[in-house]
Amino acid sequence: MSGTKRKPLIGVSACRKQIDPHPFNIVGEKYINGIVDGADAMPMMIPPLGDRLDIEELLGRVDGLLLTGSPSNIEPRHYGGKNSVPPHDPHRDATTLKLLRRAVERAIPLLAICRGCQEVNVAYGGTLHSQLDQVEGLIRHREDSARPLEEQYAPTHKLELTDTGLLASLVGTTEVSVNSLHTQGVAELGTGLVVEATAPDGLIEAFSVQGSAAFSLAVQWHPEWKVVENPFYLAIFRAFGAACRQRLAGVV
Q: Give long-range contacts, CB 8 A cutoff, 24+ apart: 199-204.
A: 199/139, 199/141, 199/157, 199/158, 199/159, 200/139, 200/157, 200/158, 200/160, 201/137, 201/138, 201/139, 202/137, 203/132, 203/138, 203/141
- Band of the pLDDT at 146, cuts 50, 70, 90? confident
**Active-site residues: which are they?**
114, 222, 224
Residue 2: per-residue pLDDT = 45
Residue 80: per-residue pLDDT = 93
d(CA 196, CA 208): 7
Mean pLDDT for 51-61 is 97
CATH topology of domain 9-249: Rossmann fold (3.40.50)
pTM of the model: 0.95
pLDDT digits (tens, 9 = 90+) for 155-168: 999 999 999 999 99
For residue 97, pLDDT beyond 90: yes
Residue 95: per-residue pLDDT = 98
User: Which residues does 21 contact at the CB level (< 8 Å), separation at least 6?
Assistant: none
User: pLDDT > 90: what percent of the chain?
Assistant: 87
- Band of the pLDDT at 66, cuts 50, 70, 90? very high
pLDDT digits (tens, 9 = 90+) for 115-137: 999 999 999 999 999 888 878 88
- Band of the pLDDT at 4, cuts 50, 70, 90? low
Residue 137: per-residue pLDDT = 84
pLDDT digits (tens, 9 = 90+) for 213-226: 999 999 999 999 99
For residue 77, pLDDT beyond 90: yes
pLDDT digits (tens, 9 = 90+) for 14-53: 999 999 999 999 999 999 999 999 999 999 999 999 999 9
The CA-based angle 90-204-227, given to 5 degrees, is: 80
